């Protein structure tokens, strides 16, 4: 497939992350049909000029912000996430918010079933 198609699919996948939600680079790649291309997602975000792209909702698979702590980008991302109600502690987002996709419970009930 032409790379421009893949690029568009990745950008679409990023746009598809709703406010208040987050997804890992790898997950975005998978949703775009390009498993294993997390690095490419990162590169695209770095180059994208689209101001409406919600790049701040993309984080590392372990929940950490990808930028170095102390960098302007790091601060910017934390600020944007918090502005959407996403809790960020010590440079990381709770893994619960990193669920690959809404669970069936969440779709049906608006939340996951409590742990038994």
Partner DNA sequence: TGCGTGACCCAGG
Partner DNA sequence: ACCTGGGCCACGC
Binding residues (CB under 7 A) for DNA: these are 3, 24-27, 36-43, 45-46, 55-56, 58, 60-62, 66-67, 73, 77
- For residue 108, the cross-strand partners are none
Which two structure tokens, joined as six digits, stand for 77?
A: 């991302």
The residue among 46 and 108 lying less far from DNA, judged by its C-beta, is: 46
The residue among 41 and 88 lying less far from DNA, judged by its C-beta, is: 41
Q: What is the closest distance, in whole angstroms, from the C-beta atom of residue 21 to DNA in the complex?
A: 15
The residue among 9 and 60 lying less far from DNA, judged by its C-beta, is: 60
Q: What is the closest distance, in whole angstroms, from the C-beta atom of residue 6 to DNA in the complex?
A: 8
Distance CA 20, CA 84 (A): 5
Distance CA 106, CA 78 (A): 25
Q: CB-based contacts of 42: which residues, under 8 Å, 6+ apart?
A: 25, 66
């Amino acid at each position: 497939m032409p790379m421009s198609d893949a690029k568009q699919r990745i950008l679409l996948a990023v746009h598809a992350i709703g406010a208040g939600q987050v997804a890992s680079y790898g997950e975005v790649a998978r949703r775009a049909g390009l498993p294993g291309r997390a690095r490419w997602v990162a590169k695209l975000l770095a180059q994208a000029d689209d101001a409406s792209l919600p790049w701040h909702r993309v984080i590392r698979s372990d929940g950490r912000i990808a930028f170095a702590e102390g960098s302007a980008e790091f601060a910017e991302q934390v600020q944007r996430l918090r502005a959407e109600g996403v809790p960020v502690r010590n440079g990381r987002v709770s893994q619960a918010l990193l669920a690959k996709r809404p669970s069936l419970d969440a779709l049906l009930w608006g939340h996951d079933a409590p742990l038994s």
